[in-house]
Amino acid sequence: MHSNTILQEFIRKSIHLTSVVIVIVYFYAGKNAVMGMLILFLLLFLIIENGRLKYNISIPLLQSLFRKNEISHPAGHIYFIIGAIISISIFSYEIASAAILMATFGDLTAALIGKKYGRTKIFHGPKSLEGSLSALIVNFVIGYLFLGGWPVALIMALSATIAELWFTHVDDNLAIPIFSGSVGYVAVFIISNI
């Protein structure tokens, strides 16, 4: 794998590192503040995406960061913000934060490790066992930090990793936080009622 491709992937994924800001704002300023911020950013990015897709307005700095499928379709950051908005709307702070950070750091880890060291392909597709196992470990650590117990952390980490692998026709920036958050919510409900 060329170092330029890995660097480009890292830069592309690092845009999603704003998820840390989302979690911090949510913690310190509350749900309404973070929702207002996300809706504002969503509107701004929708305007930019509309100009890019409908009127062919090019932003040179960002143009090189788009994947092939994003050249003529909305980019991943739109789906990421929508996934964050839905997660924060539905789930507790702990579950929403874990789900959003799993979508960022688990996916980033899977992409970087998979591109650099991925040898064993899963389902004959582009995803690698090495990338997915790396994501699972990172997702588990995130889940454990936010949820405090290993059963829910493991269940949520597995669901985030499965979402990254399984949902090939839905942007993983949307699929991972909603799917892992939903599974985490159900797991917390079941475990707390045992």
Q: Cβ-count burial of 22 within 10 angstroms (0-12 exposed, 13-18 middle, 19+ buried)? A: buried
Cross-strand partners of 128: 121
pLDDT digits (tens, 9 = 90+) for 116-131: 998 898 877 788 999 9
Query: Which of 166, 114, 168 shows the shortest CA–CA distance to 183?
Result: 166
Query: Which of 149, 134, 148 shows the shortest CA–CA distance to 102?
Result: 134
Separation between Cα atoms, residue 185 and residue 155, nearest integer Å: 10
58 and 52 Cβ atoms separated by less than 8 Å? yes
131 and 108 Cβ atoms separated by less than 8 Å? no
Average pLDDT (110-121) is: 90
Separation between Cα atoms, residue 69 and residue 66, nearest integer Å: 8
Separation between Cα atoms, residue 101 and residue 106, nearest integer Å: 8
pLDDT digits (tens, 9 = 90+) for 66-104: 666 667 788 888 999 999 999 999 999 999 999 999 999
CB atoms within 10 A of CB 121: 13
Q: Quote helix, strand, coil % in the chain, to nearest 5.
A: 80, 0, 20
Query: Which of 181, 179, 174 shows the shortest CA–CA distance to 16?
Result: 174
pLDDT at residue 18, as a whole number: 86
The tokens for 114 are 């998979």
Query: Which of 43, 179, 49, 40 shows the shortest CA–CA distance to 107?
Result: 179
Identify the domain containing residue 169 by its residue range. 3-192
Count up the domains in the chain and report the number. Answer: 1
pTM of the model: 0.89
SS3 63: helix
pLDDT digits (tens, 9 = 90+) for 29-74: 999 999 999 999 999 999 989 998 999 887 766 666 666 666 778 8
| Whole-number CA gyration radius for the chain | 17
